[in-house]
């Protein structure tokens, strides 16, 4: 079923822009709720101050005490790119402020699962920490924090995931989404939360004269904005103004060559020119390579890559991550074929297709089911949870699932509703509006699948299940230019809830051929006389349909990009949808 294509509706009267912003950009910004130049400012001065973060003073006090007493500090990170960048940032900043005894562990997702569990606390105890700092996790770790406190270990939680009804009894909790927190941006990634905490600590230590008395050069927190940008983009959090500032500033540092050797090595392996880097490059090239370690192996490889100061070793770590990512692609492709085969059977009777779809295969990989759920969700435009076997025998056999949602359904709240209505079905869960994770006993899977579908049907309408592509309208022939392409590249950063401009238009096909096995390369004409030609590429097309010599005119939904070949720039359309 083809998606509905609509154009963003804007009211030009709302705009209060200066003359320096083109009419095209004004139209694009208005479509994203931006009405003035002020909302587009990307300087560090536009970041909200950390004071409004609930728990900040307690968190700073814990870190100051640990620093001055040279306590043993252990970071417990998450096994994704946000967790890896959060861990690396905390290690680097605390060391720069004088911390001598600081280390990290990342729970192996296949052995320990997510977050600060009692089992992770037991593992942590082998290192005798005085203080545990969680980064990008911990807000749901009630039993884990209890175990740590019983062992005499202080706990500082930094997280951004949505809290449950009961909070852990930690010594301090920083999470902009916890009840009573007045911090204006609720969309910080985990790395953004810990960046704010460490920035506040640095300011406090400066005011108390710590750096002078210890003969330490006061660190510049901007030095680690490359990590903040990478973690923020890779975690697909909404790019509100705060996150746009953080990402923009991090990108500027990477472009200027002021980045971690590991990030540069990953960019090199991906064939990306750092001077032309944009946010989507972090999301689609660096982030997946970093995430591959946590999905298939041990995220410690990714963290070591980010921490490494030797160029040769940084390259070695990056190569390992690149190889893991290649393996992940193979596994994902196999799982996708299997998932689509299951789906094709279900679609034979579309009326019987669940509104909230659960899929399971005993051979699916725990670390990749989230990607599978996302692919299936995109195909059928309805919430999907993909499950993998998590081990155990008999009644204790467990499944782990990863959920992806569509606009209109808050997936974490939907799981909460199922758990409330059916208390025995879900062992644990957590997440965001659009993505979540959960564990359940295998014996409860059929009942859960039924309850989840019922909850989705309760919350959505048939209209919600109709996929829709929203565009920014058409570009004129004059706007299909390098000048427009450069303007769009530099007017972001684009990302979640601040989407890259998408356009629609009618074109004439001059040439068409398949490249790289399944990508359609097109030479298009803007007019029937074929006086203005433009290149285009559509990735992963159905090769049973394309090339199509019988089609010479198409409606396209596309992004305007700049292709660089042998030092020469040219305009290129990156095609999202073809309507022949």
User: At 351, phi and psi to the nearest 5?
Assistant: -65, -30
Q: Which of 109, 113, 115 is closest to 136 using CA atoms? A: 115
Q: Same topology for domains 346-465 and 470-579, yes or no?
A: no
CA 466 – CA 448 distance, rounded (Å): 25
Residue 371 is inside which H or E element, if any? helix 369-380
CA 181 – CA 168 distance, rounded (Å): 16
CATH number of 346-465: 3.10.310.30
The reported pTM is 0.92
Contacts of residue 192, Cβ cutoff 8 Å, sequence gap at least 6: 160, 185, 228, 231, 232, 237, 242, 243, 246
Q: Which CATH class is domain 470-579?
A: mainly beta
pLDDT the model gives residue 1: 57
Domain 52-321 sits in CATH 3.90.1640.30: yes
Q: Are strands 468-471 and 503-515 parallel, antiparallel or unpaired?
A: unpaired
CA 533 – CA 225 distance, rounded (Å): 40
Q: Which of 46, 32, 474 is closest to 15 using CA atoms? A: 32
CA 171 – CA 443 distance, rounded (Å): 38
Which pLDDT tens digits describe the chain residue by residue (580 residues)?
A: 568 899 998 988 888 898 889 999 999 999 999 999 999 999 999 999 999 999 999 999 999 999 999 999 999 998 899 999 999 999 999 999 999 999 999 877 667 667 899 999 999 999 999 999 999 999 999 999 999 999 999 999 999 998 988 999 999 999 999 999 999 999 999 999 999 999 999 999 999 999 999 999 999 999 999 999 999 999 999 999 999 999 999 999 999 999 999 999 999 999 999 999 999 999 999 999 999 998 888 889 999 999 999 999 999 999 999 999 999 999 999 999 999 888 887 776 666 789 999 999 999 999 999 999 999 999 999 999 999 999 999 989 999 999 999 999 999 999 999 999 999 999 988 888 889 999 999 999 999 999 999 999 999 999 999 999 999 999 999 999 999 999 999 999 999 999 999 999 999 999 999 998 889 999 999 988 888 999 999 998 988 899 999 999 999 999 999 998 888 999 999 999 998 6
Q: Let me know how long the chain is.
A: 580
Peptide bond into 493 cis (omega under 30): yes
CA 416 – CA 436 distance, rounded (Å): 11
Beta-bridged to residue 535, according to DSSP, are 523, 572
Q: Which of 454, 437, 580 is closest to 512 using CA atoms? A: 580
* Every domain of the chain and the residues it spans: 52-321, 346-465, 470-579
CA 485 to chain centre: 25
């Amino acid at each position: 079923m083809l998606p509905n294509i609509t154009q963003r509706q804007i009211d030009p009267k709302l705009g209060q822009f200066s003359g320096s912003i083109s009419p095209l950009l004004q139209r694009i910004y208005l479509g994203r709720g931006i009405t003035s130049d002020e909302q587009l400012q990307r300087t560090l001065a536009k970041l909200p101050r950390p004071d409004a973060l609930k728990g900040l003073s307690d968190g700073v006090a814990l870190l100051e005490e640990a620093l001055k007493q040279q306590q043993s500090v252990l970071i417990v990170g998450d096994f994704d790119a946000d967790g890896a960048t959060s861990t690396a940032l905390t290690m680097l900043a605390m060391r720069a402020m004088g911390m001598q005894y600081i280390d990290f562990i990342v729970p192996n997702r296949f052995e320990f699962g997510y977050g600060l569990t009692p089992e992770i606390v037991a593992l942590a105890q082998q290192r005798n920490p005085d203080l545990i700092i969680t980064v990008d996790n911990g807000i749901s770790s009630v039993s884990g924090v209890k175990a740590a406190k019983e062992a005499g270990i202080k706990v500082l939680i930094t997280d951004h995931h949505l809290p449950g009804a009961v909070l852990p009894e930690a010594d301090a909790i920083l999470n902009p989404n916890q009840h009573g927190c007045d911090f204006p941006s609720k969309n910080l990634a985990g790395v953004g939360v810990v960046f704010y905490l460490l920035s506040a600590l640095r300011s406090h230590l400066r005011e108390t004269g710590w750096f002078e008395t210890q003969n330490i050069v006061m660190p510049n927190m901007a030095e680690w904005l490359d990590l903040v940008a990478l973690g923020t983009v890779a975690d697909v959090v909404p790019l509100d103004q705060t996150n746009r500032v953080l990402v923009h500033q991090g990108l500027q540092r990477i472009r200027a060559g002021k980045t971690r050797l590991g990030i540069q090595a990953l960019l090199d392996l991906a064939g990306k020119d750092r001077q032309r880097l944009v946010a989507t490059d972090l999301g689609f090239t660096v982030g997946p390579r970093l995430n591959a370690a946590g999905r298939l192996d041990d995220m410690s490889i990714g963290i070591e890559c980010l921490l490494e100061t030797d160029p040769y070793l940084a390259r070695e770590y990056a190569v390992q991550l690149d190889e893991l990512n290649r393996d992940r692609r193979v596994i994902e492709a196999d799982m996708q074929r299997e998932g689509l085969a299951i789906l094709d059977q279900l679609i034979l009777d579309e009326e019987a297709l669940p509104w909230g779809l659960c899929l399971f295969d005993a051979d699916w990989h725990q670390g990749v089911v989230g990607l599978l759920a996302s692919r299936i969700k995109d195909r059928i435009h309805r919430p999907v949870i993909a499950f993998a076997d998590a081990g155990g025998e008999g009644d204790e056999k467990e499944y782990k699932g990863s959920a992806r949602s569509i606009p209109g359904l808050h997936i974490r709240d939907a799981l909460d509703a199922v758990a409330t209505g059916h208390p025995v079905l879900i062992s644990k869960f957590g997440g965001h509006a659009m993505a979540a994770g959960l564990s359940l006993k295998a014996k409860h899977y059929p009942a859960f699948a039924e309850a989840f579908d019922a909850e989705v049907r309760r919350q959505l309408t048939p209209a919600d299940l109709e996929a829709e592509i929203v565009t920014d309208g058409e570009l004129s022939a004059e706007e299909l230019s390098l000048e427009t392409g450069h303007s769009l590249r530099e007017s972001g950063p684009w990302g979640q809830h601040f989407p890259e401009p998408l356009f629609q238009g009618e074109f004439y096909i001059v040439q068409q051929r398949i490249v790289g096995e399944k990508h359609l390369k097109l030479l298009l004409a803007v007019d029937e006389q074929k006086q203005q030609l433009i290149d285009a590429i559509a990735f992963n097309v159905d090769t049973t349909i394309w090339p199509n010599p019988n089609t010479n005119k198409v409606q396209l939904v596309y992004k305007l990009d700049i292709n660089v070949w042998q030092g020469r720039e040219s305009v290129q359309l990156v095609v999202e949808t073809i309507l022949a």
